[in-house]
């Protein structure tokens, strides 16, 4: 049976790799819909190649998608609308908080969600997980796909904790004085993965690992004190489950996002996309994170533990600060500074029980962070 898939964020790093998987095995998939933010030219080429029933564009030249046989959804909210179209699986590969509405829409429609957009789970927290419990969510983030695979068929009461590995990013060996001078071109040189700009900067600050700790806490229901992070420069081991008898089951795979993407799209089947690692001759190292220098990881864990509006505020402040860093309006070390300052002034937002409530926190934190960026620019 061909899986009917919707790819949200089809023009990005995850989206294009998902289409590579589909291109390699066209007999296994039917692309029902594709969506992008503003890259109409690439979306048009994708529509020409994959002939989906729907094409969605949030902003930009939607007129250029006309005449291809696809129904065009355009304007703000087009992606979330597409996410509710009946499908076997929806891949959410949108970047940032903008992906939350689509996550909610897919889950509410009863669609299975292959989730790359970690910001949805970070900002939406328990409330999104309640929606996910009613439907089905398969993680795409490499560490969470690893954990998902290690947990399959295990007795939950025998799980003692989780291990997330971090590459350490391009700056792990630098000292504070050198870190102060790094620019976007340095941060965008990830040592092991090729990814979109936002997540690549998050990897360099270690915010990516902080977001992933929160993501793991919600996806797998494991308390923060039982989630460990180890810096593993080789990015061969992606995660592991620690058991009460002292055993650990680790997941190792090539640094190739097509594997977790394909696993989530065709779950529980595996596609022969790559060869296993050679193992013999490899050297693997596991180190403590440098929390004194890379403040985003402990800030994120503290926000996760605080709960309520804190993770959404952390995420929004980070998105604003990363954008400003990429635009050279602030320095690298000002990213954690701004995030920390915003977290210090989070007011009481009451319980976050719907999208509007989470969006209110996001808006507030963006304003707070934006003011702090302008003060430094």
Ligand X SMILES: CC(=O)[C@@H](O)[C@H](O)COP(=O)(O)O
Ligand Y SMILES: NC(=O)C1=CN([C@@H]2O[C@H](COP(=O)(O)OP(=O)(O)OC[C@H]3O[C@@H](n4cnc5c(N)ncnc54)[C@H](OP(=O)(O)O)[C@@H]3O)[C@@H](O)[C@H]2O)C=CC1
Alpha helix ranges (H) inside 36-137: 40-50, 78-83, 100-108, 118-134
Among the residue ranges 106-114, 139-147, 176-184, 305-313, the one whose residues contact Mn ion (CB under 5 A): 139-147
Distance CA 315, CA 178 (A): 26
Instruction: Report which residue's Cβ sits closest to ligand Y.
Output: 12
Q: Tell me: does residue 141 bind Mn ion (CB under 5 A).
A: yes
Measured distance CA(83)–CA(320) in Å, rounded = 26
Q: Which is nearer to ligand Y, 159 or 198 (CB)?
A: 198
169 binds ligand X (CB under 6 A): yes
Are 90 and 112 in contact, with CB atoms under 8 Å apart?
Answer: yes
105 contact choice in Mn ion, ligand Y, ligand X, none (CB below 5 to 8 Å, kind-dependent): none
Cβ–Cβ < 8 Å for 10, 36: yes
Our finding on whether 81 is near ligand Y (CB under 6 A) is no
Does residue 121 contact residue 219 with C-beta atoms inside 8 Å?
Answer: yes
Number of residues that bind ligand X (CB under 6 A): 12
Contact map string, positions 203 to 222, toward ligand X, x by CB under 6 A? x----xx-------------
Please tell me whether residue 202 binds Mn ion under the rule CB under 5 A. no
145 annotated binding-site participant: no
Site for ligand X in 239-258 (CB under 6 A): 257
Which burial class, exposed, middle or buried, applies to 63 when counting CB atoms under 10 A from its CB (0-12, 13-18, 19+)? exposed
Taking the complex as a whole, the smallest distance from the CB of residue 37 to ligand Y amounts, in Å, to: 3
- Nearest Cα residue to 296 out of 202, 221, 220: 202
Residue 166 near which of ligand X, ligand Y, Mn ion, none (CB within 5-8 Å, type-dependent): ligand X
CA gap 151, 46 in Å, rounded: 35
The residue within the footprint of ligand Y, chosen from 37, 145, 165, 255 (CB under 6 A), is 37
**Considering the rule CB under 6 A, would residue 58 count as an interface residue with ligand Y?**
yes
What are the beta bridge partners of residue 243? 159
- Of 118, 149, 350, 156, nearest to 238 (Cα)? 149
190 is in an annotated binding site: yes
Among 4, 15, 313, 339, binds ligand Y (CB under 6 A): 15
Cβ pair 208, 116 in contact under 8 A: no
- Please check whether residue 9 is in contact with residue 92, taking contact to mean a CB–CB distance below 8 angstroms: yes
Residue 315 annotated as binding site: no
The reply, when asked if residue 143 is annotated as ligand binding, is yes
Binding residues (CB under 6 A) for ligand Y: these are 9-15, 35-39, 58, 79, 93-95, 98, 116-119, 141-142, 193, 195-196, 198-199, 257
Q: Which residues carry a binding-site annotation?
A: 11-14, 39, 117-119, 141-143, 167, 190, 196, 203, 208-209, 212
Q: Which residues carry a binding-site annotation for Mn(2+)?
A: 141, 143, 212
């Amino acid at each position: 049976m061909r899986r009917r898939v919707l790819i949200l964020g089809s023009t990005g790093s995850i989206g294009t790799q998902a289409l590579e998987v589909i291109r390699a095995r066209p007999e296994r998939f039917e692309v029902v819909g594709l969506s992008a933010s503003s890259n109409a030219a690439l979306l048009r080429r994708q529509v020409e190649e994959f002939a989906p029933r729907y094409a969605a564009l949030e902003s930009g030249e939607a007129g250029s998608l006309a005449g291809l046989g696809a129904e065009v959804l355009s304007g703000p909210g087009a992606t979330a609308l597409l996410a509710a179209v009946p499908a076997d699986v929806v891949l959410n590969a949108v970047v940032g908080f903008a992906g939350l509405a689509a996550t909610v829409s897919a889950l509410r429609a009863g669609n299975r969600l292959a989730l790359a957009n970690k910001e949805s789970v970070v900002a939406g927290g328990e409330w999104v997980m309640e929606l996910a419990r009613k439907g089905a969510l398969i993680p795409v983030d490499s560490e969470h796909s690893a954990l998902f695979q290690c947990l399959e068929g295990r007795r939950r009461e025998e799980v003692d904790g989780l291990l997330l590995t971090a590459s350490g990013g391009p700056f792990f060996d630098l000292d504070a004085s050198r870190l102060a001078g790094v620019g976007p071109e340095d941060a965008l040189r990830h040592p092991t993965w090729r990814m979109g700009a936002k997540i690549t900067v998050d990897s360099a600050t270690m915010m990516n690992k902080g977001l992933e700790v929160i993501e793991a806490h919600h996806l797998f229901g494991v308390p923060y004190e039982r989630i460990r992070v180890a810096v593993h420069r080789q990015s061969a081991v992606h995660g592991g489950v620690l058991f009460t008898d002292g055993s650990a089951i680790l997941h190792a795979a090539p640094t190739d996002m097509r594997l977790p993407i394909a696993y989530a799209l065709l779950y529980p089947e595996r596609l022969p996309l790559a060869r296993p690692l050679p193992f013999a001759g490899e050297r693997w190292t596991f180190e403590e994170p440098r929390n004194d220098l890379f403040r985003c990881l402990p800030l994120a864990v503290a926000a996760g533990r605080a709960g309520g509006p804190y993770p959404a505020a952390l995420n929004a402040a980070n998105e604003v600060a990363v954008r400003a860093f990429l635009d050279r309006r602030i320095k690298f070390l000002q990213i954690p500074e701004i995030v920390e300052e915003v977290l210090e002034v989070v007011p009481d937002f009451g319980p976050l029980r719907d999208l509007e409530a989470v969006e209110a926190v996001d808006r507030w934190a963006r304003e707070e962070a934006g003011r702090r960026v302008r003060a430094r620019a």
